[in-house]
Amino acid sequence: MNGWKEMADHQHIEESSQRGEQPLDMSLVRAHIVVEGRVQGVAYRAFTQQQATSLNLHGWVRNLPSGHVESEVEGRLSAVETFLNALRQGPSLAHVEHIHIEWISVLNDVGEFRILRS
C-alpha cells in the first residue's frame, strides 16, 4: 500500500492508494473510495453526487455504519482526479481526515451518479 500526507486548506489529510499506482493514461478509470472524518450529517453525499454529475462521472456514494462515506466513481482520468481533489475538501461543514483510494476494474458504467441508501 502506498500512502502519503498532505496539507489542504489547513486540514490534515492522510491518503492511501492500493492496487498499484494511479493510472497514467487518459483512458477510463474506476476508483473505490472510502472517506473518513466528519463526513456524515454534513451533506457530503449530496456534495459528492453534485461533483460527479458536474464532471460527467458515473458511480455511486453511500454512508457506512462506521461513520465513513464510501463511493465508486468511473470516468476519464482527468475528471476522476478533479473529483478526488473535491472530495479531499468536501462541503464546508465536513472535515476530511483520511481518504482511501483503490483503483479497480472499469465496469463501463453508463448510469447517473447516484446516492445509495445506507
CATH of the domain at 63: 3.30.70.100
Across 21-29, average pLDDT: 67
In a domain, 80, yes or no: yes
CB contact at 8 A, 69 and 40: yes
The residue from 2, 19, 38, 45 that is catalytic is: 45
The parent domain of residue 21 ranges over 2-108
pLDDT of 8 > 50? The answer is: no
Residue 2 among the catalytic residues: no
Q: Please give the pLDDT value at position 109.
A: 85
pLDDT per position as a tens digit, 43-61:
999 999 999 999 999 999 9
Residue 88 among the catalytic residues: no
In a domain, 116, yes or no: no
CB contact at 8 A, 71 and 100: no
pTM for the predicted model, two decimal places: 0.79
The residue from 38, 63, 85, 108 that is catalytic is: 63
CB contact at 8 A, 42 and 90: yes
Question: How many domains is the chain built from?
Answer: 1
In a domain, 118, yes or no: no
In a domain, 18, yes or no: yes
In a domain, 100, yes or no: yes
